Amino acid sequence: MALSFPLCSVSRLAAVTSLLALGLAAGCSSPAADSGTAPADSAAAAAPKAPAASPLQVVAALREPQFVGVAVTPDGRVFAVFPRWDNNPVAAVAIIGADNSVQPYPDADWCAWNETVRNEPQKHWICPQSVYVDKTGMLWVLDPASPGLKGTVPGGPKLVKIDPKTDKVVQNISIPESVASRKSYLNDVRIDTQNNYAYLTESGVGSLVVVDLKSGKARRLLAMHPSMMGDTTLNIKADGHEMIDATGKHARFNADGIALSQDRQYLYWKPLTSYTLFRIKTAALRNPALSDAQLAQQIEDLGKVPACDGMEIDANDNLYMTAFENHSIVRRTPAGKIETVVQDPRLEWPDTFAFADGSLYVTTSAIHKTPTWNKGVGKQDQPYYIFKMALPR
């Protein structure tokens, strides 16, 4: 997850803060025409260097535009999503080549978002946020459809399934406004291929969304429950500096990271600005007879973990987390022990994971370097990266 400000902003990503209050985002009220590369930051410093023993290998390095999500299909193709925040990428969902090439996916038409296609919000990527490969090899794209984080485009929020073997859309689920309100921001997704359900975090209001993939029906659950809400009292830091915007407000980001246990029995999540991890039995989430009050009674508080953005679970049920406060990736063992997997200064706001072929892939989004948290001056000092490393045993 990483969020930013409007398409017509001259700054690069005024990141996640609009998640708190969509009304803070000013500017364009309609989709902009595809634009070129955004201007370079005006206060870039020396880029961080790789430690000699770092296990991270560079898969891709792009200066602009910013990408957040990553996925790897069984045929080895690497995918990334480029949300439309304060730039308008030509390829909002793309295959990333070994030469840093960017190929629109599944085609250029799906990646187009401008006035000529505004009446077809379900057939185009508006502001895609997450890309994920399920256990059967299908590719899923989650589009909260909130360009510039100014509010969702009516009819735009969607969860789309693509068959990588044919590069064709095979399912397109519209998320209604009763579930994804105008102030919502669908953030991340996990797919339960055994029970045919999708589980989503929603960061704008703060909730979970559960989708029956057979019927296409979506339900919003636990909206604004304390386990969904970011904490403004923590004084979250990155690079040692508190995350405070130009108005003096501390960062508050709601339900974000999400992970599904290997046996599909538990869903894990946490607000980004929080040190507490939560989980609930997926059977409860799938039961439409349970009220939010009844669901709340089944939420488990798993205790303290680092503030993190993305999460994922490996085959041994180790929960990996992108610990952005200290440029790290950590994991929580099934016994609850927190272990550092890698610490590297190039992990400037490590964002989203993908696991493939025994490797861990991770993106960096440098949220803390964006103008929102630096008195209006972008301080990004290196490319946006996709790294990979061997999964530790």
What pLDDT is recorded for position 45? Answer: 56
Residue 128 confidence (pLDDT): 98
Do residues 372 and 245 lie in contact, with contact meaning Cβ atoms separated by under 8 Å?
A: yes
Output 174 or 376, whichever has higher pLDDT: 174
State residue 331's pLDDT score: 98
Is residue 330 classed as helix, strand or coil in its secondary structure? strand
Domains of the chain: 16-29+57-390 (2.120.10.30)
Q: CB of 246 within 8 A of CB of 375?
A: yes
Q: How far apart are CA 189 and CA 202, in angstroms?
A: 10
pLDDT value for 66: 85
Query: What pLDDT does residue 18 have?
Result: 37
Report residue 148's pLDDT band, with 50, 70 and 90 as the boundaries: confident
User: Is the pLDDT reported for residue 215 higher than 90?
Assistant: yes
pLDDT tens-digit readout, 34-91: 333 333 443 445 788 999 999 999 999 999 888 999 999 999 999 999 999 877 899 9
**pLDDT cut 90: percent of the chain above it:** 74
pLDDT, average across residues 163-181: 98
- Percent of all residues in the chain with a pLDDT value above 70, rounded to a whole number: 89
DSSP 191-216: EETTTTEEEEEETTTTEEEEEETTT-
Please tell me the least confidently modeled range out of 9-13, 294-298, 323-327: 9-13
What are the Cα distances from residue 392, in Å, to 52, 64, 186, 273, 323? 18, 31, 31, 27, 17
Over the chain, what is the mean pLDDT?
Answer: 88
Q: CA triplet 155, 158, 159: central angle to 5 degrees?
A: 165
Task: Give the pTM.
Answer: 0.88
For residues 285-309, average pLDDT: 97
Question: Long-range contacts for 131-134 (Cβ within 8 Å, ≥24 apart)?
Answer: 131/69, 131/70, 131/71, 131/79, 131/80, 131/81, 131/93, 132/69, 132/71, 132/188, 132/189, 132/190, 132/191, 132/354, 133/71, 133/72, 133/73, 133/74, 133/164, 133/354, 133/356, 134/191, 134/193
| 3-class DSSP state of 134 | coil
- pLDDT of 260 reads 98
